[in-house]
């Protein structure tokens, strides 16, 4: 191999190494937000939302108890374990990452330490090129922190509605009517946010002629509110 060829190969290898190294660094530095929730008194008792700056993310919830079947009398179907990709709205995504920037990437004490009723442990965490941090709270006096926690709790509510509706589509289409009524009410009250995260499920209901028309109408109404 000539000296010129050797130099060319060395330069090519070095270039590939730089590109590969740069890719690894960008991957390591990509901003990501997580919220974990734990409350042994609820089902699911633990769940996590992971969100990227473009609003894409994943939701994982593990059901520690037995998963109920279809509605039978007063027994209500449970969502059970849920694992799904999600896409949040630009507004909520901005709230998440703007709060992280304003609140030291969550590298701070955020629990109020007040004697308030236990609502569940929320852990907010961020990692990215600026650094990383996390904080944990039951209730926070910081309005930004508490508001973000409340918003994501409402997203979880929507996702659990979606999981229950998926089961009802299989086991009990008549039960969808009541569940849709509850979802519409929760959405109006702000207890269920980001109905766009279950757009696919709502679309199935709206187009299923074996579902009661009033339930299909509610699904169509909610679909008009999604981005």
Structural domains of the chain sorted by starting position, each given as residue range(s) with its CATH number in brackets: 29-172 (3.30.1560)
Report pLDDT digits (tens) over 104-159. Answer: 999 999 999 999 999 999 999 999 999 999 999 999 999 999 999 999 999 999 99
Q: What is the pTM of this model?
A: 0.83
Instruction: Give tens-digit pLDDT for 2-27.
Output: 554 455 455 444 444 444 454 454 44
Q: What is the dihedral of CA 67, 71, 73, 74, to 10 degrees?
A: 60
Distance CA 16, CA 149 (A): 43
Distance of alpha carbon 87 from alpha carbon 103, whole angstroms: 24
The average confidence (pLDDT) of the chain is 87
Report whether 183 contacts 148 (CB < 8 A): no
How many Cβ atoms sit within 10 Å of the Cβ of residue 21? 10
């Amino acid at each position: 191999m000539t000296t010129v060829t050797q130099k060319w190969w060395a330069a090519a290898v070095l270039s590939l190494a730089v590109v590969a190294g740069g890719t690894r660094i960008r991957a390591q530095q990509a901003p990501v937000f997580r919220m974990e929730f734990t409350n042994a008194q609820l089902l699911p008792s633990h769940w996590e939302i992971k969100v990227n700056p473009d609003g894409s993310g994943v939701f994982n919830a593990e059901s520690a108890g037995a998963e109920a079947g279809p509605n039978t009398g007063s027994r209500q179907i449970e969502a059970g374990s849920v694992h799904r990709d999600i896409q949040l709205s630009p507004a909520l995504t901005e709230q998440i990452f703007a709060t992280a920037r304003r609140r030291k990437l969550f590298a701070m004490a955020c629990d109020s330490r007040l004697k308030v009723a236990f609502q569940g442990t929320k852990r907010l965490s961020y990692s990215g090129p600026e650094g990383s941090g996390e904080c944990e709270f039951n209730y926070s006096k910081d309005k930004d922190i508490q508001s973000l926690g409340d918003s994501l709790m409402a997203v979880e509510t929507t996702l659990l509605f979606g999981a229950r509706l998926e089961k009802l589509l299989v086991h009990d289409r008549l039960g969808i009517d009541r569940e849709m009524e509850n979802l519409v009410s929760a959405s109006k009250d702000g207890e269920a946010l980001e109905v766009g995260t279950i757009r696919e499920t709502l679309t199935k209901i709206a187009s299923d002629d074996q579902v009661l028309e009033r339930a299909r109408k509610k699904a169509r109404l909610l679909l008009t509110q999604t981005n």
